Amino acid sequence: MDDQSNFYKASSSFHLNDQVSQFLISVNVFSSSGKYAFARKDLESAKLYSSNITLPTYMNDGDKYAIPITVLNKGKTNQTIDVNVQQIVDGKELGETETLSV
């Protein structure tokens, strides 16, 4: 116990799994004199970069679609990514490359 602040200090460490998830950490402290304290903290395990592509469930010959591509950057700095879109028409590969900054 620190005489100046009257607080106890404790620490703990643990490994997170590889899954993207959210946790609620709760700490309960009981003293021998009957004092009680608690703390709660949200913890998020996330990938810094992720993407989501929404494709139509079906298409007909000759249809044209705008396919949204969402790129999420949870990092603290901008990154440059290359998005390569490849389409196959009648067995022939056609490719376009766009460079996006996220």
Q: Please count the other Cβ atoms lying within 10 Å of the Cβ belonging to residue 63.
A: 8
Structure confidence by residue, pLDDT tens digits, 58-81: 888 888 888 888 888 887 888 777
Task: Tell me how crowded residue 21 is: count the other CB atoms within 10 A of its CB.
Answer: 11
**Domains of the chain by residue range:** 49-101
Q: Is the pLDDT of residue 54 over 70?
A: yes
Any idea how long the chain is?
A: 102
Q: How far apart are CA 68 and CA 30, in angstroms?
A: 53
pLDDT (tens digit per residue) in 1-52: 445 556 667 788 888 777 778 888 898 888 888 888 888 999 888 778 788 8
